[in-house]
Chains A and B, each alone.
Chain A
Amino acid sequence: MSPSRESAAPLTKPAPLSVTLRINGESRTLSVAPWTTLLDLLRNHLDLTGTKKGCDHGQCGACTVLIDGRRALSCLTLAVMKDGAEITTIEGLAKGDELHPLQQAFIDHDAFQCGYCTPGQICSAAGLIAEGKAKTREEIRELMSGNICRCGAYPNIVGAIEQAMGGGR
């Protein structure tokens, strides 16, 4: 069904490419294959394992990071395409020992059970707050729909985001 190995071979032998990213405030230059996703670069090359690999197909949101301040899926992002970009992961949100307001809000609201989706939820919520489009619980729910929580902690996740937005109950 799929093209033969020969026809799918690269046109030239792909040399590792140099990519420079500013990750959580620190400039990092790495040499990666063109097919390296940002998610694999973070986890496998930099040991930043806070960003989770859930579905690896853009369906669950566990790999959400901020690219130049906008939330995006690192599993569907080729690292080489983001040369020069600023990346913020869950590891970059706290200021030293001081938790990011969203991290504190997730604890306050018990907004997780197993925790696997939480880094993606929090990065996505940081993007949502920066976008400034969600005002109501309904709008938070709709604009967080790209982050699946199989434990079903949604009501508390919405509550945590409301608190971090300053409209906390």
Chain B
Amino acid sequence: MNNFDYVRACDVAEAVKMKAATPHAKFIAGGTNLIDLMKYHVEQPRRLIDISRLPLTAVEETSAGGVRIGALVPNSTLAYHSLIESRYPLLASAILAGASAQLRNMASTGGNLLQRTRCAYFYDVATPCNKRTPGAGCSATGGLNRNHAILGASADCIATHPSDMCVALAALNATVQVTGAQGERAIPFADFHRLPGDRPDLDNTLRADEIILAVVLPPQGFAANHSYLKLRDRLSYAFALVSVAAALELDGGRIGEARLALGGVAHKPWRNEAAENALRGQAPGHEAFGRAADILLKDAKHVAHNAFKVPLARRAIIRTLTQAASGTPQIQSIKTIR
């Protein structure tokens, strides 16, 4: 790690002020990704602003009937919180599919949103990477790219977003509450992470002076019909090759509301409005699910080593929707996929 100095913020206003005053500073909360990146010299902040003691640790019901999750709620606390287990089991399941028990104890809700890609070239400062150094070039495009994106990638970057939790938050239509020098604003989850385009150095739309306060879930939690299925190279503690969050509202044998989000396939949790529209009003079943998968994957493009992801994603979408429709969600500790 580089040498840096360390300050601790006592409240949100002080944290925002400290950040605005020092552009080379970084916030640190759980630190599970930032310290790792610092050890690889990918991140070299001149100052760390410790926000881990800010009072952003509540999980509480909102007046609108949803749930507000403080940015510093640890991932494990959130996954096992009674409100989340009972009303948003899709979110609990996705969190438990990610990382390890130790990391989930350390990692914060806000930090999970801000974690960087695990593209090996992004981590290796000896190789060019447009995300690390804009304009340097992309080593993954012509390199080992088995883990990389099949949707929404650009000529400059084919990295994927690594989070499981964010895939569920995308499916649930969460919003991200932030504050900064220009005051508070709420960012719809779909607009929080961005596609790489020609600025892959920007993972999201959070401004440099802003801090995440909370993630807010709307009332509808899809507790009856949901599933999170994560496919990876080993059965636990690995990033997704493909993951699927599915949430359905079933109404007299027909699909009402439908949500479908994919992880491991793009620079952000991937949703496709046309695919979800194609599910609404249909009888749940292989035919409707396959049609939605085909729409979602219509523009999929693979690179040298990740062509397998396209059929894998198709089958995963169908399987996860089937699990959701039958009310038998994937259980993360049982490795059999029903």
Evaluate contact between A76 and B128: CB separation under 8 angstroms: no
CB distance from B32 to the nearest CB of A (A): 5
Contacts A57-B39, A73-B106, A146-B100 hold; do A35 and B44 have CB atoms under 8 A apart? no
Evaluate contact between A146 and B48: CB separation under 8 angstroms: no
Q: Is A166 interfacial (CB 8 A cutoff)?
A: no
A-side contacts of B41, CB under 8 Å: 2
Interface residues on B, range: 35 or more
The 8 closest A-B CB pairs, nearest first, are A146-B100, A145-B236, A34-B6, A8-B44, A142-B333, A145-B237, A14-B5, A10-B5
Q: Is B36 interfacial (CB 8 A cutoff)?
A: yes
Contacts A1-B136, A2-B44 hold; do A72 and B102 have CB atoms under 8 A apart? yes
Within 8 A of B (CB), among A105-149: 124, 127-128, 131, 133, 136, 138-139, 141-147
Interface residues on A, range: 35 or more
Residue of A whose beta carbon sits closest to that of B22 = A11
Evaluate contact between A10 and B31: CB separation under 8 angstroms: no
B-side contacts of A136, CB under 8 Å: 333
Contacts A73-B106, A77-B31 hold; do A139 and B4 have CB atoms under 8 A apart? no
Q: Is B46 interfacial (CB 8 A cutoff)?
A: yes
Q: Is A159 interfacial (CB 8 A cutoff)?
A: no
Evaluate contact between B32 and A73: CB separation under 8 angstroms: yes
Q: Is B47 interfacial (CB 8 A cutoff)?
A: yes
Q: Is B326 interfacial (CB 8 A cutoff)?
A: no
12 contacts between A and B (CB under 8 A): A9-B2, A14-B3, A14-B6, A34-B48, A57-B39, A73-B32, A73-B106, A76-B36, A136-B333, A141-B333, A142-B332, A145-B237
What is the CA–CA distance of A127 and B128 in the complex, to the nearest angstrom?
41
B-side contacts of A9, CB under 8 Å: 2-3, 46
Residue of A whose beta carbon sits closest to that of B136 = A1
Evaluate contact between B24 and A146: CB separation under 8 angstroms: no
Q: Which residues of B contact A (CB under 8 A)?
A: 1-6, 22, 24-25, 28, 31-32, 35-36, 38-39, 41-42, 44, 46-48, 50, 52, 76, 80, 99-103, 105-106, 125-129, 132-133, 136, 235-237, 332-335
CB distance from A4 to the nearest CB of B (A): 9
What is the CA–CA distance of A128 and B102 in the complex, to the nearest angstrom?
9
Residue of B whose beta carbon sits closest to that of A127 = B101
Evaluate contact between A17 and B128: CB separation under 8 angstroms: no
What is the CA–CA distance of A9 and B24 in the complex, to the nearest angstrom?
10
CB distance from A136 to the nearest CB of B (A): 7
CB distance from A47 to the nearest CB of B (A): 22
A-side contacts of B236, CB under 8 Å: 141-142, 145
CB distance from A61 to the nearest CB of B (A): 6
A-side contacts of B2, CB under 8 Å: 8-10, 35
New contact pairs (4) apart from A76-B103, A141-B236, A142-B236, CB-CB < 8 Å: A8-B44, A12-B5, A13-B5, A78-B48
Evaluate contact between B46 and A138: CB separation under 8 angstroms: no
What is the CA–CA distance of A133 and B127 in the complex, to the nearest angstrom?
42
Which of A11, A33, A61, A131 gathers the greatest number of chain B CB atoms within 10 Å?
Answer: A11
B-side contacts of A14, CB under 8 Å: 3-6
Q: Is A64 interfacial (CB 8 A cutoff)?
A: yes
What is the CA–CA distance of A146 and B101 in the complex, to the nearest angstrom?
7
Q: Is A70 interfacial (CB 8 A cutoff)?
A: yes
B-side contacts of A33, CB under 8 Å: 3
B-side contacts of A138, CB under 8 Å: 333-335
Q: Is A58 interfacial (CB 8 A cutoff)?
A: yes
A-side contacts of B102, CB under 8 Å: 61, 64, 71-73, 124, 127, 146
A-side contacts of B127, CB under 8 Å: 1
B-side contacts of A71, CB under 8 Å: 101-102, 105
Q: Is A37 interfacial (CB 8 A cutoff)?
A: yes
CB distance from B311 to the nearest CB of A (A): 27
What is the CA–CA distance of A121 and B319 in the complex, to the nearest angstrom?
35
Q: Is A81 interfacial (CB 8 A cutoff)?
A: yes
Residue of A whose beta carbon sits closest to that of B4 = A10
CB distance from B128 to the nearest CB of A (A): 7
B-side contacts of A64, CB under 8 Å: 102
Evaluate contact between B32 and A10: CB separation under 8 angstroms: no
